Chain A
Amino acid sequence: EADIYQTPRYLVIGTGKKITLECSQTMGHDKMYWYQQDPGMELHLIHYSYGVNSTEKGDLSSESTVSRIRTEHFPLTLESARPSHTSQYLCASSEYTAVGGYTFGSGTRLTVV
């Protein structure tokens, strides 16, 4: 049974629409991350959070924003979707990096047309 949930799994949306990708975890982890991955490419960190009300931008510049109002919830928002945002978005959480690393959600495959 998955401990970290991402919805939707797949999303096709028109240019200019506002979207929110949901991510929730039931493990009580303080650290949460959003990665973006294109086929055949490495996972790029776009946002991370150390806990409630803590958010930071990752190594890859992204037009998306995140919020962390509750420990278990870390949604990602795109105010105006563009075709360049087409990608897979993976949410992860961790307690201690040195022990088992991250737990990932199943991802959201976003297509902007």
Chain B
Amino acid sequence: DQQVKQNSPSLSVQEGRISILNCDYTNSMFDYFLWYKKYPAEGPTFLISISSIKDKNEDGRFTVFLNKSAKHLSLHIVPSQPGDSAVYFCAASDGTDSWGKLQFGAGTQVVVTP
């Protein structure tokens, strides 16, 4: 049963514009959320995270928004750059899980065009 869902497999955006990536989850026990970026033939790298006690976290061009009532989070990239072309994974953690396991979505392929 997939607990983290990224319903948009791909997104194309023009350089300089905003990229918005969406993620939905079903497990109400999730209390920490992360975004990872993955280039081909490489492992995912951590991008930004947010705790469930917050509704927004910002780091440079990247902002993550959390709507707990809707069980929805989004990642905004402003402005988008060609180097942002990658697959972005949403991940979630259940704070009661002492093993620290993460549940991942299927990813969204972002292509930034000139």
Contact = CB atoms under 8 A, between A and B. Distances in A.
B46 A42 contact: no
Interface string B29-47: 0001010100001111110
B54 interface: no
Contacts of A101: 34, 36, 46, 49, 91, 93, 102
Contacts of A94: 100
A38 B113 CA distance: 26
A88 to B, nearest CB: 9
A95 to B, nearest CB: 9
Given A98-B93, A104-B44, A42 B36 contact: no
B101 A98 contact: no
A84 B20 CA distance: 35
A98 B41 contact: no
Given A35-B104, A42-B106, A48-B99, 16 more contacts: A9-B41, A40-B9, A40-B107, A42-B104, A45-B102, A58-B101, A94-B100, A97-B101, A98-B49, A98-B95, A100-B46, A101-B34, A101-B49, A103-B46, A107-B41, A107-B42
